[in-house]
């Protein structure tokens, strides 16, 4: 087994891993290596072309995990995660939406000193340059982010329609949500291509002599030593398998930073002997740190949606989504010659983050209190025994505060000018005719799942096997109650939001009955790709895996920095949040290690 030694070993060359690689290698005295399981796809046209992102969902650039069957859901649930240099920022749908101030303050209130919204926002702004209309730019961060204005008929109708029913337009990067917006995208307006962690953070510094990048390498464990039962474990290096199948190790002088994502980071901790003692002993793994909270608190947004028929005399993207040859040829020509059209964008930027007004009346508040009381009696609502009573109570308190505040958004709504198969016969089905769709996302779920290894064999670490992912979607009864009401609310506002309604065919409401709506949700609900929480940042006694400096409890020089440390789900797409977290982490890692 060959061996080298570095000051810092970063496991995972994804979004946060490459931010750290850039910022920490600014010090020429630090020798840094990044170990990434995937390959460098920065020259791949499908990676760079914005509208081609759906083609990456079943590519080698995706881990394509699967959950165990979900008793409350009908669909088979796939768990995409980026398996390429740049991680999920190389395969995602570009949306660059920050979270609410209340959410970040919620993290802080769990006991995470230093994670107030002011510190988070400062770090986030360090990550990007915002390109606004008319050539106006703000900031000077590496990531290039484009912010458009409502230009199409449908974008204007969505914004104006929601304003007409009481929801004024909001700034998606302000931390103050509660209305419609056109979401920024991580697209470079100069090249019309994806801007992501690889070409934004890594490419400008690839030539630094103190930075080594290894792709096609899968870490099998962190090499830990413990001098006595009372001492913290010390990482001496990591063990990994290279693309030719040979085994290697990399020694470490200062720190190991795990940035492998919400699924693979707990996997690496457990393979290294950090996790629940019962599980590790059952698999024959020496227990270095007994912490049963590793891999727990998996959170994600679930969504369903509604489809409405559009009038015959308005344009939609249905022909392009059906891959009609003429529509595809036009799209390719528009993108190739002008950098415009459906290939120049994710086609998902028309959004809204909204409260649920029915909970803000006297009757609604009373009903909400009853729902919380009933959920407390439900044996499945907090049946995960690894969730501490303290965190379960804090989680409920946070979600209740959002539900009852008229200025806070509890749902994320994505509008698209085309058919989406929420209730279709298959995910690939595209209906004939013209349509618009609204995806309806539960922003603050109370359901919590888990991810744990099922094998200690190193042969699985480069594959989607050897893991048990149980997302437990809708296991908390309040999630179904809220999402069903969001569906009913969406149908109601769409039916009266002028001028949006004038471009739709007559529509008969389907969801006046809540029981019918719940059945629809159970049948059609799917998961977004916004996984967080499996190495949560909070006090160990509350269920934490890392402290407020992202140091793994029980280890003196191991940190985790990625979406897995987020203890409460962000309000919408988490891409911007992860860049902000990584920038903030880089600042205090420098303080601690330099």
Q: Which residues are annotated as a binding site for FAD?
A: 15-16, 219, 574-575
Half-sphere exposure of 105 (CA within 13 A, CB side): 11
The rounded radius of gyration (Å) of the Cα atoms in the chain is 23
At how many degrees (to 10) do helices 477-496 and 514-524 cross? Answer: 110
**For the chain, percent helix, then strand, then coil, each to nearest 5?**
35, 20, 45
* Alpha helix positions (H), 45-114: 45-48, 101-109
Contact present, 263 and 534 (Cβ < 8 Å): yes
CA distance 152 to 149: 9
Residue 403 host element (H or E): helix 389-403
Contacts of 284 (CB under 8 A, 6+ apart): 456
- Nearest to residue 99, comparing CAs of 572, 579, 575? 572
- Nearest to residue 557, comparing CAs of 290, 318, 224, 248? 224
CA distance 345 to 317: 12
Contact present, 532 and 569 (Cβ < 8 Å): yes
Give whole-number Cα distances, 429 to 76, 95, 308, 342, 575, in Å.
Answer: 16, 24, 16, 19, 28
Contacts of 393 (CB under 8 A, 6+ apart): none
Strands in 242-349 per DSSP E: 247-258, 274-275, 289-290, 296-298, 302-309
Q: DSSP character for 476?
A: S
Residue 146 host element (H or E): strand 143-146
Feature table: binding site: 15-16, 219, 574-575
Half-sphere exposure of 106 (CA within 13 A, CB side): 25
Half-sphere exposure of 376 (CA within 13 A, CB side): 11
Give whole-number Cα distances, 362 to 139, 355, 400, in Å.
Answer: 44, 16, 15
Contact present, 186 and 53 (Cβ < 8 Å): no
Residue 374 host element (H or E): helix 362-377
Q: Which residue has the tokens 């030694």?
A: 5
């Amino acid at each position: 087994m060959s061996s080298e030694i570095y000051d810092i070993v970063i496991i995972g060359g994804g979004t946060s891993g490459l931010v750290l690689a850039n910022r920490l290698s600014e010090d020429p005295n630090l020798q840094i290596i990044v170990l990434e399981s995937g390959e460098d796809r920065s020259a791949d046209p499908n990676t760079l072309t914005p509208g081609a992102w759906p083609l990456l969902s079943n590519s080698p650039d995706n881990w394509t995990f699967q959950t165990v069957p979900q008793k409350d859901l009908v669909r088979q649930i796939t768990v995409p995660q980026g398996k390429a240099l740049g991680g999920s920022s190389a395969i995602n749908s570009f949306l660059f939406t920050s979270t609410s101030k209340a959410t970040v303050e919620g993290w802080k209130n769990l006991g995470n000193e230093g994670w107030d919204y002011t510190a988070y926002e400062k770090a986030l702004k360090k990550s990007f340059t915002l390109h606004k209309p008319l050539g106006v730019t703000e900031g000077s961060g590496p990531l290039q982010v484009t912010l458009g204005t409502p230009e199409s008929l449908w974008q204007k109708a969505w914004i104006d329609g929601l304003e007409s029913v009481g929801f004024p337009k909001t700034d998606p990067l302000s931390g103050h949500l509660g209305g419609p917006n056109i979401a920024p995208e991580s697209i470079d307006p100069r090249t019309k291509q994806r801007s992501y962690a690889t070409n934004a953070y890594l490419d400008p510094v690839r030539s630094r002599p103190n930075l080594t990048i290894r792709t096609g390498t899968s870490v099998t464990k962190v090499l830990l030593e413990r001098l006595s039962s009372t001492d913290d474990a010390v990482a001496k290096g990591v063990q990994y398998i290279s693309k030719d199948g040979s085994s290697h190790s990399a020694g470490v002088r200062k720190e190991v930073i795990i940035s492998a994502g919400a699924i693979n980071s707990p996997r690496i901790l457990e393979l290294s002997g950090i996790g629940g003692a019962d599980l590790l002993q059952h698999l024959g793994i020496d227990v270095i740190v007994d912490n049963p909270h590793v891999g727990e608190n998996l959170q994600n947004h679930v969504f369903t949606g509604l489809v409405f028929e559009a009038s015959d005399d308005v344009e939609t993207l249905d022909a392009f989504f059906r891959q009609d040859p003429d529509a595809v040829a036009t799209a390719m020509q528009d993108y190739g010659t002008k950098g415009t059209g459906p290939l120049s964008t994710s086609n998902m930027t028309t959004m809204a983050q909204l409260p649920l007004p029915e909970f803000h009346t006297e009757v609604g508040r009373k009903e909400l209190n009853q729902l919380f009381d009933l959920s407390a009696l439900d044996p499945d609502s907090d049946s995960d025994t690894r969730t501490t009573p303290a965190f379960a109570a804090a989680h409920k308190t946070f979600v209740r505060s959002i539900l009852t505040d008229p200025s806070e958004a509890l749902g994320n709504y994505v509008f698209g000018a085309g058919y989406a198969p929420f209730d279709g016969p298959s995910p690939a089905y595209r209906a004939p005719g013209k349509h618009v769709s609204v995806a309806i996302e539960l922003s603050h779920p109370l359901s919590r799942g888990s991810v744990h290894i099922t094998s200690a064999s190193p042969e699985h670490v480069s594959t989607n096997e050897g893991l048990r992912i149980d997302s437990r979607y809708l296991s908390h009864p309040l999630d179904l109650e809220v999402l069903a009401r969001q569906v009913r609310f969406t149908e109601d506002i769409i039916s009266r939001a002028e001028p949006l309604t004038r471009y739709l065919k007559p529509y008969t409401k389907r969801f006046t009955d809540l029981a019918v709506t719940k059945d629809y949700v159970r049948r059609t609900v799917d998961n977004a790709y916004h996984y967080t929480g499996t190495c949560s940042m909070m006090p160990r006694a509350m269920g934490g895996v890392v402290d407020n400096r992202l140091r793994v409890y029980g280890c003196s020089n191991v940190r985790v920095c990625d979406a897995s440390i987020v203890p409460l789900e962000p309000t919408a797409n988490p891409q911007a949040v992860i860049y902000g977290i990584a920038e903030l982490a880089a600042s205090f890692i420098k303080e601690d290690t330099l």
